[in-house]
């Protein structure tokens, strides 16, 4: 009985197409993951640069606003 089961498993190929598609899908997913990991460093640099620009602009505008507020509060002579 077990021998017939093993022979049936070896001769059956109904699930072969499905398993091939699963392997192909897994390969595509791994390649996509590798590409995303490689590109993530570049994307982090872009975001870091944008953040630095925004912080610098914000600091410059805060400095001008503080200077204008200080000048407005100064007593007239």
Tokens of 20: 């091939």
Question: How do residues 25-39 score in pLDDT, each as one tens digit?
Answer: 999 999 999 999 888
* Torsion angle of C-alpha atoms 56, 60, 65, 70, degrees rounded to 10: 120
Total count of residues recorded for the chain: 77
In the predicted structure, residue 9 carries a pLDDT above the cut 70? no
What span, in angstroms and rounded, lies between the C-alpha atoms of 67 and 60? 11
What span, in angstroms and rounded, lies between the C-alpha atoms of 20 and 24? 6
Question: How do residues 20-76 score in pLDDT, each as one tens digit?
Answer: 999 999 999 999 999 998 888 888 888 899 999 999 988 888 776 655 555 556 555
């Amino acid at each position: 009985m077990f021998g017939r089961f093993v022979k049936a498993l070896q001769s059956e190929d109904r699930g072969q197409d499905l398993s091939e598609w699963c392997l192909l899908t897994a390969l595509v997913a791994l390649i996509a993951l590798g590409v995303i990991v490689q590109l993530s460093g570049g994307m982090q640099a872009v975001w870091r640069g944008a953040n630095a620009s925004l912080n610098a602009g914000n600091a410059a505008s805060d400095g001008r606003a503080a200077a204008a507020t200080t000048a407005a509060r100064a007593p007239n002579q």
